[in-house]
Amino acid sequence: MVFNGKNILITIILFLLLCSKYLFAQNTDPAYNYTVGANLFYGFIYMHSPEIGHLITSHPGGVEIFINKHTYGQKPWESLYSYPDIGFSLGYYDYGNPILGKTISGISYFDFYLNKTQPSQHNFKLRIGAGLGYNTNPYDPQTNNKNNVLSTSFTFAMQTRLTYEFASRSGWKFSIAPNITHFSNGAVRKPNKGINLVLLEFGVGKRLGQPDIPYQHTHSGLQPQTDTHLRYNIAAYTGLKANKVGGGTYPFFTLNNYIDKKLNTKSAINGGIDLFYSIALKEEIENDDTFTKENAPDFKRIGLTLGHELFISRVSVLVQFGYYIYRPYKAVEPVYQRYGLKFYANNNKLFFALNLKAHGGTAEMAELGIGTRL
């Protein structure tokens, strides 16, 4: 396979489809309900960098349609997480600016209920979602050189949302939700400032299926802390990164090492060390006229990380915050973040990962990898 940006995006699409297939096929038991509906949204573009100020000329708006699968405890993790919804949405975002165009998104997500008990008539939910977007008017050096936020048609999408939902006895549901959505290509090509949307949504949906499915407390037999040992994780990530607008795209390699300790059945804290080897950074230094071969800084970097992993069945959400302790070439700020999805194999040791590494509101690279938790 040729190692290029298109193949990386195809791999990401297959990864998301694999996660979605697993999540929606947790049980063949017909005792599941679904809700279908639509949301309207309106808001603003967050100016995370003064370099994108010329693009913030109007308020974005749009619409999405969605389908939610409601869980009832057929699997222990469902009752452990207070019966979350598993959903998929198709969204249409109009930025109100011809330079930015429009974006069509497909996002898979969990909606976690914040109620102290099982879902009821009045619900508060927290969403964690990830997927892909398609932008209609990316950067082009001749025809659209002012779009410095998105330079590829296909982008990553990340979303979080806090929802209040009123569920009527007849099955109709009405909601209001502040929403933060991020689109970026992970620096596969530059420019890539990324776009962050702060939105307010109004939605309506209709429950399909049986009205009264009993909730099962299948997690009651689980111990509150299933593993008290320290576990060693090692993962190798790779991908492509562009070092400048119109320049080449080069591979990078990251070795992510960390120790984790489970706090309970759901979550673990972790800390470790990252080793970064980026050919793109090496090329950037070699093409910088301010350096000579004698005084050129080392392109390699080392970072320390602290983070948290949320385990949801065989899928987990990884968040890490890092600080470079070795960074001779100071082209970026010393603090970075990693937001990732891990998909564990049946033995819960081998995992596949898809991460977005960022510095503040700007994505630096998309990491694809494989690892093990020992």
Does residue 271 register a pLDDT over 90?
yes
Query: Mean per-residue pLDDT for 58-84?
Result: 90
Share of the chain above pLDDT 90, in %: 56
Q: pLDDT at position 253, please?
A: 96
Domains 5-208 and 230-373 share a fold: yes
Q: Are 280 and 244 in contact (CB under 8 A)?
A: no
Three-state SS at 229: coil
Does residue 349 register a pLDDT over 50?
yes
Domain 5-208 has CATH 3.30.300.30: no
Share of the chain above pLDDT 70, in %: 87
Query: Mean per-residue pLDDT for 22-36?
Result: 62
Sequence length of the chain is 374
Does residue 2 register a pLDDT over 70?
no
- Estimate to the nearest angstrom the gap between the alpha carbon of 256 and the chain centroid: 18
Identify the weakest region by mean pLDDT among 209-218, 227-236, 350-359: 209-218
Q: What is the pTM of this model?
A: 0.81
Compute the CA torsion angle 37, 42, 47, 51 (nearest 10 deg).
Answer: 100
Q: Which residues partner with 308 through β-bridges? A: 269, 319
| DSSP H or E run through 283 | helix 279-286
Compute the CA torsion angle 342, 345, 347, 348 (nearest 10 deg).
Answer: 10
Domain ranges of the chain: 5-208, 230-373
Per-residue pLDDT tens for 127-174?
Answer: 999 999 999 999 998 999 999 998 889 998 999 999 999 999 888 999
Q: How far apart are CA 137 and CA 148, in angstroms?
A: 11
Does residue 264 register a pLDDT over 70?
yes
Q: pLDDT at position 247, please?
A: 67
Q: Are 41 and 200 in contact (CB under 8 A)?
A: yes
The phi, psi pair for 286, rounded to 5°, reads -65, -30
Closest CA to 256 of 346, 361, 340: 340
Options 2.40.50, 1.10.287, 2.60.40, 2.40.160; CATH of 230-373 = 2.40.160
Angle at 119 between CA 163 and CA 76, to 5 degrees: 110
Is there a cis peptide before residue 98, judged by omega within 30 degrees of 0?
no
Q: pLDDT at position 35, please?
A: 93
Q: How far apart are CA 24 and CA 79, in angstroms?
A: 16
Identify the band that residue 226 occupies on the pLDDT scale cut at 50, 70 and 90. Answer: low
First vs last Cα of the chain: how many Å apart?
Answer: 31
Query: Mean per-residue pLDDT for 259-273?
Result: 93
Does residue 273 register a pLDDT over 70?
yes
Q: Are 179 and 159 in contact (CB under 8 A)?
A: yes
Query: Mean per-residue pLDDT for 176-196?
Result: 88
Query: Mean per-residue pLDDT for 337-362?
Result: 89
Identify the band that residue 8 occupies on the pLDDT scale cut at 50, 70 and 90. Answer: very low
Does residue 362 register a pLDDT over 80?
no
Q: How far apart are CA 272 and CA 371, in angstroms?
A: 14
Three-state SS at 224: coil
Mean pLDDT of the chain: 86
Q: How far apart are CA 200 and CA 206, in angstroms?
A: 20
The residue that leads in pLDDT, 218 or 86, is 86
